Amino acid sequence: MSFTGREFWGVVHGMGFGALFLLAFGGGIAGFYSLRQELLTAAGVRERMRRLRIGLLAMAVAAWGTVITGTWIVYPWYRDKAATSPRSQLLADPSTEQWHTFGMEWKEHVAWISPILATVVAFIALYYGVNLIKHERVRKTAMALFVLSFAIAAVAGGFGALITKVAPIR
């Protein structure tokens, strides 16, 4: 039971950074949602914000880790010119070529928007700190960007998982 080097990096990209980002979203959105004046004491706000800031920063790092490892380590193996590369295999069969021409082409580009948005959300939490609770409008804006970042990552991650199923990198 072992991984090749390529499979290892595929796991780091998708199940390490990628899954960490997607799984942490639930905690982040719950933290934002409950960050309301009527629900928290001063001590509660401070504790919540510390957790939220660390969580959002970790999510932004995970999002950057996902796209950087995906683009610069895993993707060159995927698009290798060899007939055995996943891209070549997908394009060789009309029944699978859309996994590349639509799925991979969309995923490889759109994924990069997610860490940009995740970084903005982390910046908002770091910039305002506990004072974020005074800014209902900013909190809702951050939540909107946070959900969008997640949705884009989910599209990219979903296609990544499916493409790996059809044509794994070995």
Binding site residues, another protein, CB under 8 A: 37-38, 41-42, 45, 67, 71-72, 75-76, 79, 101-102, 105-106, 108-110, 112-113, 116-117, 119-120, 123-124, 127-131, 133-135, 137-138, 141, 144-145, 148, 152
- Least distance CB 79 / another protein (angstroms): 6
Question: What tokens does 55 get?
Answer: 């969580």
Nearer to another protein, 3 or 127 (CB): 127
Q: How many CA atoms lie within 13 A of 25 on its CB side?
A: 23
Distance CA 34, CA 133 (A): 10
Distance CA 169, CA 88 (A): 11
Q: Are 22 and 95 in contact (CB under 8 A)?
A: no
Q: Are 96 and 167 in contact (CB under 8 A)?
A: yes
- Least distance CB 1 / another protein (angstroms): 29
Nearer to another protein, 41 or 84 (CB): 41
- Least distance CB 10 / another protein (angstroms): 16
- Least distance CB 143 / another protein (angstroms): 11
Nearest to 78 by CA among 64, 88, 68: 88
Nearer to another protein, 96 or 141 (CB): 141
- Least distance CB 31 / another protein (angstroms): 17
Nearer to another protein, 25 or 146 (CB): 146
Q: Are 98 and 159 in contact (CB under 8 A)?
A: no
